[in-house]
A and B are shown apart, each in its own frame.
Chain A
Amino acid sequence: MDNFPAHFHDGQTAARHDVAVALAAGGLHIAADDGRFLHLWRYEDLRTSERPRVNAPLRLSTAATPDARLVVDSANFYDGLRHRAPALFARGLDRPAVRRRWVIGLACVAVAAVALWKGVPVLATSLAPLVPAEWVRGWGEALSAQITGDARQCEDPDGLQALQQMTDRLLADAGSTLPTTVVVIDHKMANAFAAPGGNVVILRGLIDEAETADEVAGVLAHELGHAVKRHPTQALIRYAGVSLLLGLIGGDSNIIVETVAEVGGLALLLSYNRDMEREADIFAYDLLQRTNIGADGLISFFERLSDETGEADDPLSTYLSTHPSTRERIAALRQAYVNLPSPRPALDQDAWQALRSICR
Chain B
Amino acid sequence: MHDNRRSVSDQEVVLEIEEESDVARAVVAAQRYLQDLGFDRSRGFLVATAVSELARNIFVHAGAGRITLGRLDEDDRLGFEVVAEDEGPGIADYELAFTDGYSTGQSLGLGLPGVRRIMDEVEFDASRESGTRIAARTWR
B is bound to A: no
A residues in contact (CB < 8 Å) with B:
none
